[in-house]
Structure 1
Amino acid sequence: MKKKVYHWQPELSTAIIYWSCTFGILFLSLILTLEHTRPYLISNIVLGIFIFFAFLGCNRYFIIDDEYLIIHAILPIRRKKITLSAIEMIRVGPKCIEVNSPELKEETQMFIMTKKNKAAFIEKLKQQELFTAKIIDDPELTISKHY
């Protein structure tokens, strides 16, 4: 059986930078297309690069295993496997969640999620036996870090 994935985006500033650069590649491809009246190899290659980066940008997700929360990110070095029992607290905001765990690099990490994905993710976490963390509903939690 295939595991359910819950898609996320990084905190706001990182997401804006990534998607701005990605759509910049698309606009470059469109500009190159306008330079010629017939299909142009270079503009198609640049469009292919845009599609590749758009796919990578949508390839961030969580997988909840029996013992672990797997955080799948674009770069393999940023992918993490956190023990469910090591998660101390999850703050749930209107558009994001914040996970606190000593197994994370900064001990806390913010993830932007859609309401539907966020609700399904929290419900699945609550069903896990090893998950003992507090889940705090925080309407004040915003999608950008400000420490």
Structure 2
Amino acid sequence: MKKKVYHWQPELSTAIIYWSCTFGILFLSLILTLEHTRPYLTSNIVLGIFIFFVFLGCNRYFIIDGKYLVVHALLPVRRKKITLSAIEAIRVGPKCIELKSCDFKEGTQMFIMTKKNKNAFIETIKQHKSFKATIIDDPELTISKHY
């Protein structure tokens, strides 16, 4: 059976920086294309780099695997495998969720998700027996962290 994945994006400032740089590569490719009237190898290589970074940017997701929540991130170093029992609380906002767990470096981590993905993720995680965290519906939760 295929495991369900729930796509997410990082906290707002990180997402803006990543996608701005990625689309900067696209615009560079388009500028190189305009310099020549026929197909140009350099612009096609830069366009390939853009497509690669789009693929990487969309490759962030959660998988609920038995007793674990696998947080698949862009860099292999930042990927985490958290036991569902280690999650202390989940705050659910209009456009994001915030997971509180001692396994995260700062204690909490915020994830931007679409409404459909967010609701499906919450419903699926509630069904697991090892999940004992509280789910807090917080309409005031914004998609950027406040320090």
| TM-score over 0.5 for the pair | yes
Amino acid at match of 1:90: I
Match of 1:131 in 2: 131
Describe how 1:27-106 pairs up with structure 2 within 5 A: 27-106=27-106
| Gap regions ≥5 residues in structure 1 | none
> C-alpha separation between the residues in 1 aligned to 2:19 and 2:103?
28
> C-alpha separation between the residues in 2 aligned to 1:32 and 1:66?
49
Describe how 1:105-120 pairs up with structure 2 within 5 A: 105-120=105-120
Shift of 1:85: 0.2
The secondary structure found in structure 1 opposite 2:6 is strand
Amino acid at match of 1:114: T
Task: Give the alignment's TM-score, normalised by structure 1.
Answer: 0.99
> C-alpha separation between the residues in 1 aligned to 2:91 and 2:48?
38
The secondary structure found in structure 2 opposite 1:24 is helix
> C-alpha separation between the residues in 1 aligned to 2:81 and 2:107?
14
> C-alpha separation between the residues in 2 aligned to 1:22 and 1:33?
17
Shift of 1:66: 1.2
> C-alpha separation between the residues in 2 aligned to 1:21 and 1:141?
27
Task: Give the alignment's TM-score, normalised by structure 2.
Answer: 0.99
Amino acid at match of 1:70: V
Shift of 1:16: 0.1
| Gap regions ≥5 residues in structure 2 | none
> C-alpha separation between the residues in 2 aligned to 1:29 and 1:128?
47
Q: May I ask how many residue pairs the two structures share in their alignment?
A: 147
Shift of 1:104: 1.0
Cα root mean square deviation, aligned: 0.4
> C-alpha separation between the residues in 1 aligned to 2:13 and 2:131?
30
> C-alpha separation between the residues in 1 aligned to 2:50 and 2:64?
30
Deviations 1:34-89 (A, max 9, x none): 00000000000000000000000000000001100000001000000000000000
Deviations 1:6-25 (A, max 9, x none): 00000000000000000000
Amino acid at match of 2:102: P
Amino acid at match of 1:138: D
> C-alpha separation between the residues in 1 aligned to 2:4 and 2:105?
25
Amino acid at match of 2:139: P
